[in-house]
Amino acid sequence: MDLNKLLFDKTKFSLMAGPCSIESEEHFQKTATYVKEAGAQILRGGIYKLRTSKDSFQGLGLEAYELANKVRKNMDMPFVTEITDPRQTSALAEVTDIFQVGSRNMYNYDLLKELSLGDKPVLLKRGFSATVDEWVKAAEYVEANGTAKALLCERGIRSFDNTTRNVLDLASVAYLKQHTHYPVIVDPSHATGRRDLIIPMSLAAVAAGADGLIVETHPTPENAMSDGFQSLNPEEFRELTEKLKGILKLFNRELF
Q: Out of 37, 73, 220, 246, which residue is the one contacting a copy of itself (CB under 8 A)?
A: 246
How distant, in Å, are the alpha carbons of 121, 211, 223, 224 from that of 128? 22, 21, 27, 24
Number of residues engaging a copy of itself in binding (CB under 8 A): 64
**Does the footprint of a copy of itself cover residue 252 (CB under 8 A)?**
no
Point out which span in 7-15, 27-35, 67-75, 206-214 binds a copy of itself (CB under 8 A): 206-214
Query: What is the per-residue DSSP string for 28-80?
Result: HHHHHHHHHHHT--EEE-BSS---SSTTS----TTHHHHHHHHHHHHHT--EE
Phi then psi for residue 80, to 5 deg, are -125, 130
**Does the footprint of a copy of itself cover residue 96 (CB under 8 A)?**
no
Residue 108 carries which DSSP code?
-
x/- track of binding to a copy of itself for residues 42-61 (CB under 8 A): --------xxxxx-------
Q: How many CA atoms lie within 13 A of 130 on its CB side?
A: 26
Smallest gap from Cβ 198 to a copy of itself, in A, equals 9
Of the pair 23, 169, the CB lying nearest a copy of itself is at 169
**Does the footprint of a copy of itself cover residue 118 (CB under 8 A)?**
no
Smallest gap from Cβ 234 to a copy of itself, in A, equals 21
CB 148 within 8 A of CB 118: yes
**Does the footprint of a copy of itself cover residue 129 (CB under 8 A)?**
yes
Give the alpha-carbon dihedral of 38, 44, 46, 49, to 10 degrees.
-110
Phi then psi for residue 220, to 5 deg, are -140, 85
Where on the chain is the footprint of a copy of itself (CB under 8 A)? 50-54, 84-87, 103-105, 107-111, 127-129, 131-134, 137-138, 140-141, 144, 157-164, 167-172, 174-175, 177-178, 191-192, 194, 196-197, 200-201, 203-209, 246-247, 250
